[in-house]
Copies of this chain bind each other. A is one copy, B any other.
Amino acid sequence: MTTESDAQAESQRHASKMAKKKAARDKIMATKEGEKGLIIVHTGPGKGKSSSGFGMILRCIAHGMPCAVVQFIKGAWETGERRLLTENFGDLCQFHAMGEGFTWETQDRARDIAAAKAGWEKAKELIHDPRIRMVLLDEINIALRYDYLELDEVLAFLRAEKPPLTHVVLTGRNAAEGLIEAADLVTEMTLVKHPFRSGIKGQPGVEF
């Protein structure tokens, strides 16, 4: 049976534990002074790589920070994100769909390479523009994996030409080791359980 004094003691223990956590956290936060444009990578076989990229774009828009998206692979899809961003926030967020659908839909390597290279040219232009604070290179890791783009060229550009306060977000599974080394913030999305395995199809709002 819990008495009133038990509950009071539990509350006091909790307050003391949380006060310690807060002190520890405040101490850590006080050392974080730098502001820096980050190279951010979302990779791994799980879900959420692109959608958390779009979540960050949404945050930029909410803060009034100009931003841009280049889609390297899913271009042929009329994705929900694309329509919503261009229709509502076209003044703050540029959207460039360069791919022609997943590579196994096109079966044309030359066309895929041309689309990837055009995407990268657009990406460089956007990253160079100092007004733009975040550039999302959605699914660029796929273009790198198939050698549609040269990793060395991408890394050299990010290292030498990215303005210091610009964030660049690169998504897609199988991120190259060199990209992970160059990045400031890397998250791997791990698949724990997926409904496709139990016969459920991709659904609006969840997959697209």
Q: How far is the CA of A35 from the CA of B190 in the complex (A)?
A: 24
Q: Is A158 an interface residue (CB 8 A)?
A: no
Residue in B closest to A192 when the chains form the complex, CB atoms: B186
Q: Mark A179-196, 1 if CB is under 8 A from B, else 0.
A: 010011111111111111
- With beta carbons under 8 angstroms apart, the residue of B22, B49, B62, B203 that contacts A104 is B22
- With beta carbons under 8 angstroms apart, the residue of B109, B189, B198 that contacts A48 is B189
Contact A59 B80, beta carbon cutoff 8 Å: yes
Indicate the member of A61, A105, A190 with the most B CB atoms within 10 Å. A190
Task: Choose the segment among A10-18, A68-76, A114-122 that binds chain B (4+ C-beta atoms closer than 8 Å).
Answer: A10-18
Contact B192 A110, beta carbon cutoff 8 Å: no
Indicate the member of A41, A195, A205 with the most B CB atoms within 10 Å. A205
Residue in B closest to A23 when the chains form the complex, CB atoms: B104
Q: How far is the CA of A182 from the CA of B55 in the complex (A)?
A: 26
- With beta carbons under 8 angstroms apart, the residue of B11, B38, B60, B80 that contacts A63 is B80
Q: Is A47 an interface residue (CB 8 A)?
A: yes
Contact A185 B47, beta carbon cutoff 8 Å: yes
Asked, given contacts A22-B105, A59-B208, whether A31 binds B199 with beta carbons under 8 Å apart, the answer is yes
Q: How far is the CA of A190 from the CA of B185 in the complex (A)?
A: 11
Q: Chain B residues near A27 (CB, 8 Å)?
A: none
Q: Is A178 an interface residue (CB 8 A)?
A: no
Task: Choose the segment among A81-89, A123-131, A149-157 that binds chain B (4+ C-beta atoms closer than 8 Å).
Answer: A81-89
Q: How far is the CA of A179 from the CA of B195 in the complex (A)?
A: 15
- With beta carbons under 8 angstroms apart, the residue of B18, B41, B60, B195 that contacts A184 is B195
Cβ < 8 Å to B, chain A residues 35-66:
35-36, 38, 40-42, 44, 46-56, 58-63, 65
